[in-house]
Chains A and B, each alone.
Chain A
Amino acid sequence: MARTRSGLGFGRILVVTLAALLASVLPLPGWLELLRPDFVALTVLWFTLLSPRLTGLFYAWGAGLALDAFKGVLLGQHALALIVITYVASKLRLQVRAFPPLQQTAVILALLWLNEFIVFWIDGVAGHPVTDWRRWLSVPVGAACWPLLTGLFARVAARR
């Protein structure tokens, strides 16, 4: 019994993750493309903070590898960034869940920044740094999306 309900949860996670992956390569007009938040990082953070029994580091790693495959970048780049922020988020989970929305968003901002920084750093190590300041735009946009996404995801999770 327990197993089947866990299985349902797994299916939902898969669908949401796939949607996030598709949203991260969806063609957008020029300036909107620069404002695109890291949907996969947001999804991973959401599952880590609010549904930790179903997901974990392995999930974050898999989602990161899938994102690398979708974007055609260095394999393991987003995977490494995502497992690091998942680790930090798991450690802070109980505090963050009790935070008021604004403070929660601030934590998400910091985690998204860490995620983007690791990706940026690996870009540099791999020999093709992208020093354009606009790459950091996705971080505040992602954090601003957090309150909206929690509402949306809560609705998805509630529909059982």
Chain B
Amino acid sequence: MVERKEIELIPKEIEAAKVQEVLLRRFRLASFGFFLLTLLIFGGIFAFRLSLTAQLDNLKQQSASEKAKIAQYADVESKVLGLEYKSSSVTEILSQREYLSIALSAVSASQPSGLKVTGVDVTRGENTATINGESANYVILAAFLQNLVDKDKGGALFTDALLSSVTLNSSKSKAEFVIEAAMLKNGLRKSGK
């Protein structure tokens, strides 16, 4: 039998050099492609940024023009804003307002004959009023205390009336008293206003 042997016509070195040549060409192509791609992306983004900057400048011009239009109405705007502030202040003031005349009326309405109120002290935001006075006798004073919480008299405002001191003034033959009267929460406000 005849023995077959493969004869290598191209030397291995040359083939390796060819493979390396191909690899090298691909690598060059890839690096060039990559460079081109990044350059394109950079260029694209840069151009996009330029267009956005131009758009922003344009918008700023528009905004300045609108501001100039608004500035023409400065007088109207000042009055309108002033009116808005004043109206909201009026709402706030009147809704929070405590009418001390209500307290004076409630005390007067509760006052029986023979009793004189010599002093009243009311402070906004506090729910008590201090009432000083003098009474001909203790029965009248007791009636006053009852009247203060009577719904038809002072009770529309006062919820409780405590006698904090009473002294018999013998020179006047009168009982001098101090009453601490508790007021209804928001009792000094008017619901209509």
Q: Do A and B bind each other?
A: no
